[in-house]
């Protein structure tokens, strides 16, 4: 994450972050809100590297 700016104001704090950081945060929240997608991400994260496809063999 990039630089974060916090302003203290009379009724709490305000946060300013870059558009890129904001978009990344929104995407993460969106993916985390889908139970099936979240489970698939966690399965992939916990899978041994021997089960992974090498990057040069991935078809996009």
pLDDT of residue 60: 81
Question: Which pTM does this prediction carry?
Answer: 0.59
Residue 18 lies inside a defined structural domain of this protein:
yes
Q: What is the 3-state secondary structure (H, E, C) of the chain?
A: CCCCEEEEECCEEEEECCHHHHHHHHHHHHHHHCHHHHHHHHHHHHCCHHHCCCHHHCCC
Residue 54 lies inside a defined structural domain of this protein:
no
Residue 60 lies inside a defined structural domain of this protein:
no
- pLDDT 10s digits, 6-59: 889 888 999 899 999 999 999 999 999 999 999 999 998 999 988 888 889 988
Which residue range forms the structural domain that includes residue 42? Answer: 5-46
Structural domains in the chain (count)? 1
């Amino acid at each position: 994450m990039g630089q974060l700016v916090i302003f203290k104001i009379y009724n709490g704090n305000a946060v300013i972050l870059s558009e890129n950081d904001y978009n990344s945060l929104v995407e993460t929240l969106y993916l985390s809100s889908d139970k099936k997608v979240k489970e698939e991400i966690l399965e992939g994260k916990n899978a041994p590297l021997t089960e992974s496809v090498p990057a040069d063999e991935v078809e996009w």
